[in-house]
A and B are shown apart, each in its own frame.
Chain A
Amino acid sequence: MRASFLKNNRGALFVGALLALQVAGSRASVDDAHSFALQAAEPYVKQGYQVREDYWGGDLGVGEKKAVRQQLFKGNEYWFWMGTEVEQAKISVHVYDSDGKIAEQPDSWQKGHFAASHLIPKTTGSYFIIVAVDSSPEERTHWALVYGFK
């Protein structure tokens, strides 16, 4: 998933160098978004949540949504944390069950360039996590999503 924004740019030297710079910049931003997502997760580590090393990331325009699908297990508790480095942006994350019904707990939250969704699965199976950029001064806003369980 992380590789989705790391494209293989080769070609003429100059164009290649420009593209390489662009890719490096793109990666840096998603890496930044990742560190903000992890920052949102940090307090929960103290509550016993194991935060996964693997994560999803990319960029979205304002009003655009992205769905990721994840296997979750009844008996565990999950939090999904989203972050972006664009501090003026407003982002959101929500979790839906396989029928498309919202499944998150009421203590899920959204605050500017951080958002989080809390889930206690009623069944074991696939769930849809919908991430969105609700507002942003940037044309494209980098985002990252991490999850933890206990």
Chain B
Amino acid sequence: MRFFFNTILVGSCLLGFCRAEAVTVETPKRIDVKRLSRTVEDVVVPLPNEIFGALNKLDEVNWKEFVRSNNNTNFTERPRIALLLGTEIADGFIAVQAEDAPTVKEIGQRVVYLAKGIGVGNSIVPHAKAITEAADQRNWQEVRQELDRTQNSVQEAMNEVHDEKLSQLVSLGGWLRGTQVLTAVVNRHFSADGAELLHQPDLLEYFQRKLANMPEFTVPILGQIRSSLVEVKPLIDVEKPISAASVKKINQITSGLDEQIVTRRK
């Protein structure tokens, strides 16, 4: 992404230039999605702040309530570290929403520590430094971008050493924490538009498929996540609006999972 900002060609000219051009190829007004759905590629998992941003536009949210830090849990099992790493990055996005610079910086350091635990720490040290600098300047847009870069670098480093499954667990950890906070906010002040943000059945199926392909990971938390996703699916994969009761139930489920992800149990 960085070298893009350094490219010689001037993108700002491009925008005006392109807007002036009419689309010359006839654009189909409708496509047959049933035929396409067999060939679609995997989804890019949305960032937590993609959902938080949409939520913010519906209602004022007191993000400070959801900020957490001092999570010093440590694990030796790599799948657990990966899940926790995703959760921590999501917590970073929450701290940015709350504009809480000290917590953002703390989370940046924590993410490096966890990434080192799964052997990819070196790739994100520069990002942690950039997060600290941007947080000091209260440049929240840059912190958000840097958190995305952090997650991306972690996942690229994992993919390079064929740890794609751990990379998927990082995404899953972030998605679960994001869903927990989304449901907590909507549960507090229910609105149909807020609940609609939970309508993510394809994403849920994506995670189910990925989890089904990880039989070698025997940590109990993955089994719990698998069965929890089975419970959540009928609550969000509905034609009618998602109900307040469903939001509450999903919050209970994701809060239970979050507790297990961040806590070492004896």
Contacts and interface: CB of A to CB of B under 8 A. Distances in A.
Interface of A: 1, 3-4, 35, 38-44, 46, 48, 50-56, 66-71, 73-76, 90, 92, 94, 96, 98-102, 107-111, 114, 116, 123-126, 128, 130, 134, 147, 149-150
B25 interface: yes
Interface string B1-32: 10111010101101101110101110111111
Given A92-B23, A124-B197, A39 B53 contact: no
B30 A101 contact: yes
B15 A44 contact: yes
14 contacts: A50-B47, A52-B47, A53-B152, A56-B41, A92-B25, A96-B31, A101-B29, A109-B18, A109-B21, A110-B25, A111-B21, A123-B196, A125-B201, A128-B31
B43 A130 contact: no
B39 interface: yes
B159 interface: yes
A126 B15 CA distance: 27
Interface in B114-168: 141, 144-145, 148-149, 151-152, 159, 164
Interface size bracket, B side:
35 or more
A50 B148 contact: yes
A69 B18 CA distance: 25
Contacts of B148: 50, 52-53
Contact of B25 (A4, A43, A51, A134): A134
B199 A116 contact: no
Contacts of B144: 50
A41 B152 CA distance: 18
A105 B95 CA distance: 33
A108 B19 CA distance: 8
Given A1-B42, A54-B44, A99-B33, A39 B4 contact: yes
B41 A39 contact: no
Contact of A67 (B39, B57, B151): B39
Contacts of B4: 35, 38-39, 41-42
B51 A67 contact: no
Nearest to A104: B27
Nearest to A43: B15
A75 B54 contact: yes
B25 A53 contact: no
